[in-house]
Amino acid sequence: MKVFVADNASDSQFLICREITTPLLFADNLTGVCSRCAAAIQYRPHAPAKPPKICMGCFEANEGREDYDVLITRETVSELGLDIPRKRKH
């Protein structure tokens, strides 16, 4: 699996979302259902309309069967305070 930081994840195979929590992970999260199993999910307001949204359970159940490229948006990186190093040119 490869992880990329992207400005637009709408061309991805799917958007991995967290299951509903009480309270939501972020107060302004939107809610919906997993496109595979219909579990209740939450996602950020800036998440693209496409690709289909799936829950962590469906993603983990498929892990290892297909080689996915995983994308994270710059907005999410910023919100989570992640420090993701950029690839350097050699």
Give domain status of residue 90, yes or no.
no
Q: pTM above 0.95? A: no
Asked whether the beta carbons of 67 and 51 are under 8 A apart, the reply is no
* 12 located within any domain: yes
Contacts of 57 (CB under 8 A, 6+ apart): 19, 34, 37, 39
Positive/negative CA dihedral, 40, 41, 45, 46: negative
If the chain, 90 residues long, is cut into consecutive pieces of 10 residues, what is the mean pLDDT of each piece? 64 84 94 96 88 87 67 75 54
Question: Structural domain tally of the chain?
Answer: 1
Residue 38 lies inside a defined structural domain of this protein: yes
Range of the domain at 21: 2-80
